Amino acid sequence: MRLSKEKNDDIFIIHIKGRVVGDASMELRRNINGWLAEISEDKKPKVILDLKGVSMMDNSGLGVLVSSYTSVHQKKGGRLVLAGLGKGLQNLITITKLTKVFDMYENVKDAVRSFENVV
């Protein structure tokens, strides 16, 4: 698994590539938690998880998505969205009913635009 992050104005974009399974899920959790800690306490984080390059994800990877969502939404009052999900990952999110939790966008550009419409 490969990770990178970028900042687009006040939006953090985390790019994830490869297989998010087992130990890779724990690495992803550590990195996301570290990056979220960098966000100032007085700001509501805006986070996009770019999953375009994810080839496989297991239940531990889904757990990281949910815990990241919880950290951003409930603990910091921000917003986390998913972008670039492939068909397999879309099916996994649908089967697990996480479509009720996550806002999902076809690509990062659409996800960035979604933050412009939030007051």
Q: pLDDT, tens digit, for every residue of 57-115? A: 999 999 999 999 998 987 678 999 999 999 999 999 999 999 999 999 999 999 999 99
For residue 54, pLDDT over 70 is answered with: yes
Q: pLDDT, tens digit, for every residue of 24-41? A: 999 999 999 998 888 766
Query: What average pLDDT does range 9-14 have in this prediction?
Result: 92
* Contact assessment for residue 64 and residue 25, using Cβ atoms and an 8 Å cutoff: yes
Architecture field, domain 2-116:
2-Layer Sandwich (3.30)
Which pLDDT value is given to residue 77?
A: 84
CA distance 53 to 43: 29
- Strand extents, DSSP E, the chain: 2-8, 11-20, 46-57, 79-83, 103-105
Three-class SS of 79-98: EEEEECCCHHHHHHHHHCCH
Sign of the torsion angle spanned by Cα atoms 15, 18, 24, 25? positive
The structural domains of the chain, with segments of one domain joined by +, span 2-116
